[in-house]
Structures are given as C-alpha cells and as structure tokens.
A and B are shown apart, each in its own frame.
Chain A
Amino acid sequence: MATKRIGMEGSFAIAEAVKLANADVVAAYPITPQTHIVERLAELVANGELNAEYIPVESEHSAMSACLGSSAVGARTFTATAGQGLELMHEVLYVASSLRLPIVMTVANRALSGPLSVWGDHSDVMATRDCGWIQIFAENVQQVFDLVLCAFHIAEDPSVLFPTMVHVDGFHLSHVIESLYLLEQEEVDKFLPKYHHPYALNPDKPVTIGAFGPPNIYTETKKPQDIALRASKKVILQVWRKFSELTGRYYSPVESYKAKDADVLLLVMGSFSETAMMAIDKMREEGQKVGLIRLRLWRPFPFDEFRQAVAQAQLLIVLDRALSFGGPTGPVCSEIQAALYPLETRPKIISFVGGLGGRDISVPTFEDIIRRGMAKAKQGRLDELEMIEVRE
C-alpha cells in the first residue's frame, strides 16, 4: 500500500482515480465547478498517461449520451458534471440506469439557476433522486479518491450493472487541496476486475438494446430494475469491505460520529460533516449528549442501517442543502420522515435548510442549529421547515 501522503486538489484526486481505474472513454462537457476534473483527464490522455478516448462533446446531454454508447460497447466509461449540466442530462440518466450501463460519474454539486449560481449545494442531486443510479456522497478528498475507485467496482459488478454517481460538493471538495493516500497501479489492478458487459453491442452476438415497452410489459421491466437497485447494497458493502482490507479505510452506507449514546442527532450529507463534527465536539465538551449521522449512500437508500443508527435517539435534526419548493420539508428530511414513520418508536424530527448556493455553515451555526432544534422539539414545533441565516 502506498504510504506516502501527498497534497492534492479534490478534482485531481478524482482524475487520478479514473486514471488508476484505466478508464477507456471519458466524454464530458465543461461546467464550473467540475472543470478541473475533466481538464486534468484531458491532460492525462494528451500525455499518454491514460490510454483512453476523450470525447469533447458539445453538451452534457451528448456527454451522457456518448457514455451510453461507449458503455454499451463494453468500454469502461467516466464522466463528470455539475448543477445545470446534471439537469441537462436528466432524461439520459434514466436511460443509463434502465439499460443497466455502469457509467461512473462525479457530480461537483452545484446550485440550480436562477439566479445563476456556480456554487455548491444539493439542489442538483435532489432533482435526480429517482433516476435509478447508485448515489454516494463523499466528505473529503481522500474519500473522493476512494469512492470513485470503488464506484467502478460497484457499478460494473455483473449482478449490479447500474450507473453510479459520486457526489462531491462543488468548490468545497472539488477545489480544495487536502492530503491523501493514493494507491499504486498494481494494487488497483488487483482490486478492480476488468469490465465485461454480458450484453455488449457486438456483431458476433447481435443484441437489441432499448426496445420500447408497451403497457403490457413496461411494469414488468421496472419491477426487476427496482429490485436490482435495492439488491446492489449487498455488493456495495462487499466492495467497501474489500477496499478496507486493501487500505484500512472503511466505508459504510450510514456513518456516525459520537452517536452511540447521543440523545440528539444531527444529520448531514457531504463535506459539511467535518465542520459539523467540530460543533459536536464542542457541545460534547459542554456535556451535551449530541452526535452526528452522515448519510453516505443516498441510493439505494440504506433503510436498515439508517433505522439502526438513529434507534436510540430522542431527536433527529436534519440539515438539507436543497429546497423542495412547496413541499413538506427539505427533500432529505422528507425521506428520513418516510423511512422512520413505519416504526413504533422513533425520534422526533426537525427540519432545517441551509448552505444554499455556496453559503458556508460555520461551527457556531451548527451549534445553533442543534440548540434551536432541541428547543423546537421541546415546544412541539415539529412541522416547521426553517431556513437558517436568511436576511430579511
């Protein structure tokens, strides 16, 4: 195992993982804050360090469409996008998952227009929640590298064959330089099997991909797709276990921090978790029994792990970095409520929305969120959606 710790920008770490995975095709269209990823990949291809075809397409719609083609012919395929780009891909995303094409994509999460914002939040993710992809959140540069590498293994597993997104907070992760451990090529080669699609396009064994489904058969194609996506969790766990054996770095669908004996839990996704941890540390020092839950696996939703992680808590405070306009709460909180509703005993749930369009959330603000959440729970104000730090 590579023991040398080096400093690297998040985007470059992603490119490094794609290079080590020996991807065959990269099709991408530039969009802030994803640009450094694809620039670096184009450079690696131009220098012969990555033996791949780089397709500089004319839109994100075509980027994902080209990915469909290269993946269907049996090539290991990668792309990256952000915000508006993910939205432009929208209809193609559903085709990728329905045709079971294991494309790997990093999304440098970005707010949606308007007003135009190139900065990070999770509006883009939430708009693609139901597209049938495996979706994983990273919290720091080491995780970005590790999870992109694992994503190829997960996606291409013969029993999975689902496209996989690794969510990386725009700027906060894509542009930050942190220290990380890379892996040697031989280690990756041993870890990552070769991609082989059982029904790849080939004149020797003609297949029809993408036939249309009339009402008498459409449902029959959708049910197995949902079953297969849910079942992919088993492989996700296996791959992460295998990865931990190689690196000592262990990933799980729901991760906790000081949560075991906590009465109050805060739930976040992505890079904000590390700031939230500092707030938890501070409040613990003050004697408060608070902890943190980080949802790493967004799809398939890890119901068992999640229910188990929050089982002992009295209160669960959810911070969303996206809005569901006119909806009940933030989009993540709605899912959390749905996941816990069938249980007889469950924590009270309080919803906050913040960190939109690249706005930072500081340690004191996280403390404030937790305190206010506790106060609201006491007052029984459970049905309020509160946006934090809004100037009025």
Chain B
Amino acid sequence: MESLAIYAPRLVTTKEYLASGHRACSGCGEVLAVRLTCKALGRNVIIVNATGCMEIVSSQLPYTSWEVPWIHTLFENTAAVASGIEAGIKVLSRKGGYSQKTKVVAMAGDGGTMDIGLQALSGALERGHNFIYICYDNEAYMNTGIQRSSATPFGASTTTSPAGKISIGQTSWKKNMPAIAAAHDIPYVATACTSYPFDLMNKVKKAMKVEGPAYIHVLSVCPTGWRLPSDLTIKAGRLAVETGVFPLYEIEAGKYTLNFDFPQLRPVEDYLKLQGRFRHLSKEVVAQIQERVKAEYAKLKRKVIQGS
C-alpha cells in the first residue's frame, strides 16, 4: 500500500522546505503546489527555478524562502541549467567528489515551459537527463500582469488577449504540453492539480523514483489572473478536473492511466462561471468549449483503454 492517497493525511511530513513569509498573492494555487511538491521531494534535492512568480515571491535579496539548495538564473533555460547540474553530479560522483543521490528538480511556469523555455526543455528531455521537470501552469504570464501564453485557454480574457467588441479573448486552444513531453518517449509524464494534494504528492514521489526525465504538469489556480475570489482556489481546481477541462492522468512508459474518471462530466459552465476571465463569453462560445472538452476527454479515454 504505497499510495499516499490512503494514509496520506497522517503520512505527510510536517517539515516545510518552502518557508513561510514569501510574497505570493493570497489564495495562490502555485505556491501551495510548490509547498506540497517540496514535502514530497524531501531534503535531498537541488531545485532549479525559472524566472516567474515563484522566483519572485520566494527569493527577494537578502531573503530566501528556500530550505533546500535552489538556483534561479533566467527565464527560458531552466531545463538546460538542470541538465548541467545533473551532469555535474554524475561526473563528480564518478570521480569521488559528490556522495549523495540528489534529485534535480526543474520548476517553471507555463510561459517558461511551453513558450520561451520549450526548446531547452525538449533538448533536456531528448538527452535523457535524470531529472524532474514540473510546470506550474497558471495559464498566462501572471508575474508580468496576466498576458496570454500558449497555455491560456480558449476564450479567456487576458491583458494581451483582451475580450473586446470584436474579440472573445484568447482565440487559440491551450497547447497540449503533456503530449509534447510524452512525444519525447520519456519514462514518466503526469498531470496534477493543487486541489488533489495527495495525488500531486504521489506523482512527485513516483517521479523521484524514475531513472531519466519525468514531466509533471500542475494546474495552478491563480485567483489574481483568473479573476476569482481567493477562497475559491481549491474549488476551481476541483471543477477543472470534474468538468474534464483538466483531467488528471499519468503516462508511464507510454501507458495512459486516468487517475480520476467521472461517469458523467460536469458542464464546463460550472467551471467557467466562477472566473472573471470568462465572464464575457456567449452561450455559443461556451457550447463550443463544451464540445472541445468532450472530444478531448474522449480522445484521452481512448488512449487509456488502448493502453497507449
């Protein structure tokens, strides 16, 4: 019975590796996800953080929230820096200059992963470095003021995809980043969400055991950017999963598993109506989103049934 889901509440360590006093917005889903991730990772890690919300809220000189070794350099190079650390540990271990089995964990937002950092990430996955890459996806460039990214969902209004008289907001569908990661034939890919904390920690623990690259895509609810009351973070995450907008699944050596399946998905409207970024959407556009979510969910389920 290894699954954290059963014993989880009692098994979760009270030790914090991300100290309090950071500067995240109230109700930040991302900082909660990182805190839980760190609990699952434990102390024997080196964290590489991209420029973005997490870096800014946790590292203002001369303070730090990090109780594990942590490095931030730039926006788009996180996977490459992680490659160097992993290679450095490997060779130093071989030559007797490093004596621990430390896991290298790269963390970035959706922009740092899916837009500007995609090349570096693809390179690191392809080369097969032994590391975990976690994308904390809050579906826009929140740190710079809610600009659209390739993770922004269709119809969402952001500061660079504003809804207007002749625009519905974002006009492209969210890039399927887990599928891109999986296309590199890496051993482990998973999606997770803060609203399912034990599932998230389970997946991090699984990724720790993987030899080679592991990719986890965490939907991180952002009350500030999603125009959502900060006490609804957990609820919004749950609705993202229950409506099928953001299904939780794993791809282990190519095999798909759906972690939470629902005989009947809730209507996407339940999820959309909570959030100001979708406030302007017409019934027709909501119906269009519903169709798309249904089709994507069915596609995912076919992969689960087929096994790959």
Task: Give the complex CA separation of A67 and B73 in angstroms.
Answer: 11
Contact check, A217 vs B62: say whether CB atoms are below 8 A apart. Answer: yes
Question: Is A325 among interface residues, defined by CB-CB distance under 8 A?
Answer: no
Contact check, B68 vs A73: say whether CB atoms are below 8 A apart. Answer: no
Could you tell me which residues of chain B, from 189 to 246, have a CB within 8 Å of some CB in chain A? none
Instruction: Point out the residues of chain B lying under 8 angstroms from A72, CB to CB.
Output: 71, 84-85, 88
Which of B59, B61, B74, B91 is within 8 Å of A53, CB to CB? B91
Instruction: Point out the residues of chain B lying under 8 angstroms from A63, CB to CB.
Output: 80
Contact check, B123 vs A57: say whether CB atoms are below 8 A apart. Answer: yes
Contact check, A53 vs B88: say whether CB atoms are below 8 A apart. Answer: yes
Contact check, B84 vs A27: say whether CB atoms are below 8 A apart. Answer: yes
Instruction: Point out the residues of chain B lying under 8 angstroms from A56, CB to CB.
Output: 127
Closest residue of chain B to A211, judged by CB?
Answer: B59
Task: Give the complex CA separation of A188 and B10 in angstroms.
Answer: 57
Task: Give the complex CA separation of A24 and B96 in angstroms.
Answer: 12
Contact check, A67 vs B84: say whether CB atoms are below 8 A apart. Answer: yes
Which of B44, B62, B73, B122 is within 8 Å of A68, CB to CB? B73
Which of A77, A92, A203, A204 is within 8 Å of B77, CB to CB? A92
Given A66-B83, A210-B59: A25 touches B88 (CB 8 Å cut-off)? yes
Instruction: Point out the residues of chain B lying under 8 angstroms from A74, CB to CB.
Output: 88, 92, 97-98
Given A53-B87, A72-B71: A65 touches B95 (CB 8 Å cut-off)? no
Contact check, A212 vs B83: say whether CB atoms are below 8 A apart. Answer: no
Question: Is B137 among interface residues, defined by CB-CB distance under 8 A?
Answer: no
Tally chain B residues at the interface, Cβ within 8 Å: 50
Contact check, A201 vs B69: say whether CB atoms are below 8 A apart. Answer: yes
Question: Is B66 among interface residues, defined by CB-CB distance under 8 A?
Answer: yes
Task: Give the complex CA separation of A221 and B123 in angstroms.
Answer: 33
Shortest Cβ distance from residue B103 to the other chain A in the assembled complex, whole angstroms = 10
Question: Is B139 among interface residues, defined by CB-CB distance under 8 A?
Answer: no
Contact check, A62 vs B120: say whether CB atoms are below 8 A apart. Answer: yes
Shortest Cβ distance from residue A193 to the other chain B in the assembled complex, whole angstroms = 14
Closest residue of chain B to A195, judged by CB?
Answer: B97
Question: Is A339 among interface residues, defined by CB-CB distance under 8 A?
Answer: no
Per-residue contact bits, chain A 202-218, to B (CB 8 Å; 1 contact, 0 not): 11111111111110010
Contact check, B95 vs A58: say whether CB atoms are below 8 A apart. Answer: no
Closest residue of chain B to A22, judged by CB?
Answer: B95
Contact check, A57 vs B80: say whether CB atoms are below 8 A apart. Answer: yes
Given A203-B44, A213-B61, A214-B61: A58 touches B120 (CB 8 Å cut-off)? yes
B-side interface residues toward A, CB under 8 Å? 43-46, 48, 55-56, 59-64, 66-74, 76-77, 79-92, 94-95, 97-98, 100, 102, 119-120, 122-123, 126-127
A-B contact pairs, 27 of them (CB 8 A): A27-B83, A27-B84, A51-B91, A53-B87, A57-B127, A62-B80, A62-B120, A65-B77, A65-B84, A69-B85, A71-B84, A71-B88, A73-B89, A73-B92, A91-B74, A92-B77, A99-B73, A201-B69, A203-B100, A203-B102, A206-B70, A208-B69, A209-B72, A211-B59, A211-B63, A211-B72, A212-B59
